[in-house]
Chain A
Amino acid sequence: MSIDKATVAHIARLARIALPEDAREAVAGELNNILAWVEQLAEVDTDGVEPMTSVVEVALPLRADEVTDGARVEEILANAPRREDGYFVVPKVVE
């Protein structure tokens, strides 16, 4: 499996990271280098092996479904690059 420039453009789009056309070749080279190295895992027989989902053997704890926090609008918005009337502001999404 080898990554070409078109695949790099697709990955960059999925990751929401702008990547100019003239940088894609170099990124493809770096990614192929790393992927060729991780490819060695294919030689390990993992048939019937359960994929690890949790490294500590504990049951997921549950708590009562009740409000434990809230009413912190000012704290939450304090770091916002743009805010208005108690909301985050983003470019227009719906015409």
Chain B
Amino acid sequence: MAALTDLTLAEARAGLAAGDFSARELTQAHLAAIEAARALNAFITETPERALEMADAADARRARGEGGALNGLPIAIKDLFCTRGVLTTAGSHILDGFVPPYESTVTENLWSAGAVMLGKANLDEFAMGSSNTTSHYGPAINPWRRAGDDRPLVSGGSSGGSAAAVAGRIALAATGTDTGGSIRQPAAFCGIVGLKPTYGRCSRWGIVAFASSLDQAGPLTRTVRDAAIMLGAMAGHDPRDSTSVPQPVPDYEAALDRDVKGLRVGIPAEYRVDEMPEAIDRLWQKGAAWFRERGAEIVEIDLPHTRHALPTYYIVAPAEASSNLARYDGVRYGLCVEGETLSEMYEKTRAEGFGDEVKRRLFIGTYVLSAGYYDAYYLKAQKLRTLIANDFRAAFEKVDVVLTPTAPSPAFAVGEKADDSIAMYLNDVFTVPASLAGLPAISVPAGLSDDRLPLGLHVIGKPFDEETVLRAGRVIEDAAGFDTRPEGNGA
């Protein structure tokens, strides 16, 4: 039998059900793997004692013939989800020592389904970044290396620790959050599956807020089926989040078995960007061919406002962040740097507590919302957002899903692109439009770059049609037969 840490979530579920191993054994195997892979820096906080308690409780439930959909399955939680009694940092110095007195809805749902928490995964500070290098706790490292080059690579971001943990076989699955690509881009960089659901599908209650009109929780897994299993447990209406949608959660796993005959797959001309490596363009065409071979119809479409999506995002997201992060004042929780006056205390606490990228975005956000500039920047961006959403609405009259690459490059080395904000922002050029339009989208590993790093293909769907997105993702997974894996665990 394969090592317990090599199993998919679905295989581990079957193994537990058949009594091949216990939740305790499965959890212990993962805890040992975590210890051996500390070089990945995938976790900010490991919770081995809680994990074993939860595993024992899961075994006891199983013995009584009880237990939910994830009973006994060990997973990692992005350290942006508040977890009762467990340090929650958002990757920031300013949340030093913050132990939430409550549990986020998504994690509560996962624990109700019987999942086991291995720890809190590393991330870019307040989820602001595309390489996990803005974390106060240092970068999470990609388990992959370029062929013939031993330099450590970024795991992507912001859910970089989650992606590194799942790719490095130290967690069966992980939660992430995606504001402009923060689930899908690290999934592509680490050669795993990442799913951003429709805005409103998962509750945001108890998730540390970055940009509230964009933030959405979703799973990172090694297979599309595992993403379906995780999403089924995470999703659902929550009266405590007024943007969470009161719609029933479908059986996502059942959707995987339907074929794609007659499915209309859109290829947007605007996603052909300069400087994109040829390997990515080739893979994209290959992806289209895979769908055609399986009876789907390929349709050329136009999404004319695509190139404006990234600048639009870099107005909307910092603006919302500047408002959301106003709560970190040194009074109620986290870091406090003393000052003579209240104002001085705020200013010193925030100067010391926030890292450079977070400050940069707070400055931009403050500026674009300030008197005299609101109309020129923020209002303009909100109008652009309407145009971008309308592009998709028009496209979805002709097609059922849109197929694009996930990112314009494979993973890069730690330190590369560090001096150029805009080069870093361009990582999200293909993922941001779906975020602005609130649409569900999945990244599935589909091939390798010239230097043998994983590349992802990206499927965007209609609002609340995660089922078709998963079904299309399954086609890519099946056709690509992507079974290459990182050689080591970064250790």
Taking beta carbons and an 8 Å cutoff, which residues of A are in contact with B?
A: 1, 3, 7-8, 11-12, 14-19, 27, 30-31, 33-35, 37-38, 40-42, 44, 46, 49-56, 58, 60-61, 63, 72, 75-76, 78-82, 88, 90-91, 93
- A-B contacts, 15 of them at CB < 8 A, read A11-B367, A16-B343, A17-B347, A17-B363, A18-B351, A34-B314, A41-B315, A44-B305, A46-B387, A51-B386, A56-B438, A78-B99, A78-B101, A81-B335, A91-B345
B362 CB-CB contact with A under 8 Å: yes
Kindly provide the distance from the CB of A39 to the nearest chain B CB, expressed in whole angstroms.
8
Q: Which of B342-361 contact A (CB under 8 A)?
A: 342-348, 350-351, 354, 359-360
A41 contact from B364, B380, B436, Cβ within 8 A: B380
Kindly provide the distance from the CB of A43 to the nearest chain B CB, expressed in whole angstroms.
9
Residues in A whose Cβ lies below 8 Å from that of B366: 11, 14-15
Taking beta carbons and an 8 Å cutoff, which residues of B are in contact with A?
A: 97-99, 101-102, 198-200, 213-214, 239, 242-243, 245-246, 305, 308, 311-312, 314-315, 322, 326, 329-336, 338-348, 350-351, 354, 359-360, 362-364, 366-367, 370, 373, 376-377, 379-387, 389, 421-422, 436-438, 463
Residues in A whose Cβ lies below 8 Å from that of B333: 79-81
Residues in B whose Cβ lies below 8 Å from that of A56: 198-200, 243, 245, 438, 463
Kindly provide the distance from the CB of A55 to the nearest chain B CB, expressed in whole angstroms.
3
Q: Check A31 against B383 for contact (C-beta < 8 Å).
A: no
Instruction: Tell whether A91 pairs with B370 under 8 Å between CB atoms, given A17-B347, A34-B314, A56-B463.
Output: no
Q: Check B339 against A55 for contact (C-beta < 8 Å).
A: no
Q: Check B363 against A42 for contact (C-beta < 8 Å).
A: no
Q: Check A63 against B239 for contact (C-beta < 8 Å).
A: yes
A38 contact from B213, B315, B341, B351, Cβ within 8 A: B315
B362 contact from A17, A46, A93, Cβ within 8 A: A17
CA distance A46 to B390 in the complex (A): 13
Q: Check B101 against A30 for contact (C-beta < 8 Å).
A: no
Q: Check B380 against A52 for contact (C-beta < 8 Å).
A: no
Known A14-B370, A61-B239, A79-B97; 16 more pairs at CB < 8 Å? A15-B362, A15-B363, A18-B344, A34-B422, A38-B314, A40-B308, A41-B315, A41-B381, A46-B387, A50-B383, A52-B389, A54-B213, A55-B436, A56-B438, A72-B101, A76-B101
Q: Check A90 against B243 for contact (C-beta < 8 Å).
A: no
Instruction: Tell whether A11 pairs with B383 under 8 Å between CB atoms, given A38-B311, A55-B213.
Output: no
Kindly provide the distance from the CB of B335 to the nearest chain A CB, expressed in whole angstroms.
8
Q: Check A81 against B336 for contact (C-beta < 8 Å).
A: yes
Q: Check B336 against A82 for contact (C-beta < 8 Å).
A: yes
Instruction: Tell whether A90 pairs with B239 under 8 Å between CB atoms, given A30-B421, A79-B333, A80-B332.
Output: no
B362: nearest chain-A partner, CB-CB: A15
Q: Check A49 against B421 for contact (C-beta < 8 Å).
A: no
Q: Check A30 against B360 for contact (C-beta < 8 Å).
A: yes
CA distance A21 to B339 in the complex (A): 18
When A and B form their complex, which 4 residue pairs have the shortest distance between CB atoms, in order from nearest? A55-B438, A51-B382, A81-B336, A79-B333
CA distance A33 to B335 in the complex (A): 31
CA distance A21 to B239 in the complex (A): 47
Residues in B whose Cβ lies below 8 Å from that of A18: 344, 347-348, 350-351
Instruction: Tell whether A31 pairs with B362 under 8 Å between CB atoms, given A41-B308, A56-B463.
Output: no
CA distance A44 to B246 in the complex (A): 36
Residues in B whose Cβ lies below 8 Å from that of A88: 331-332
A91 contact from B245, B342, B386, Cβ within 8 A: B342
Q: Check A8 against B363 for contact (C-beta < 8 Å).
A: yes
CA distance A38 to B200 in the complex (A): 28
CA distance A53 to B180 in the complex (A): 18
Residues in A whose Cβ lies below 8 Å from that of B463: 56
CA distance A15 to B360 in the complex (A): 11
A79 contact from B332, B343, B346, Cβ within 8 A: B332
Residues in B whose Cβ lies below 8 Å from that of A90: 331, 342, 345
Kindly provide the distance from the CB of B170 to the nearest chain A CB, expressed in whole angstroms.
29
Instruction: Tell whether A50 pairs with B101 under 8 Å between CB atoms, given A15-B366, A56-B200.
Output: no
Kindly provide the distance from the CB of A57 to the nearest chain B CB, expressed in whole angstroms.
8
Kindly provide the distance from the CB of A25 to the nearest chain B CB, expressed in whole angstroms.
14
Instruction: Tell whether A52 pairs with B382 under 8 Å between CB atoms, given A3-B367, A16-B343.
Output: yes
B438: nearest chain-A partner, CB-CB: A55
Q: Check B101 against A34 for contact (C-beta < 8 Å).
A: no
CA distance A59 to B311 in the complex (A): 29
CA distance A19 to B346 in the complex (A): 12
CA distance A92 to B380 in the complex (A): 41
CA distance A17 to B239 in the complex (A): 35
Instruction: Tell whether A79 pairs with B364 under 8 Å between CB atoms, given A16-B346, A33-B422.
Output: no
Residues in A whose Cβ lies below 8 Å from that of B97: 79
Q: Check B384 against A41 for contact (C-beta < 8 Å).
A: yes
CA distance A42 to B308 in the complex (A): 10
Residues in B whose Cβ lies below 8 Å from that of A82: 336
Q: Check B198 against A12 for contact (C-beta < 8 Å).
A: no
Kindly provide the distance from the CB of B410 to the nearest chain A CB, expressed in whole angstroms.
24
Instruction: Tell whether A44 pairs with B384 under 8 Å between CB atoms, given A34-B421, A79-B99.
Output: yes
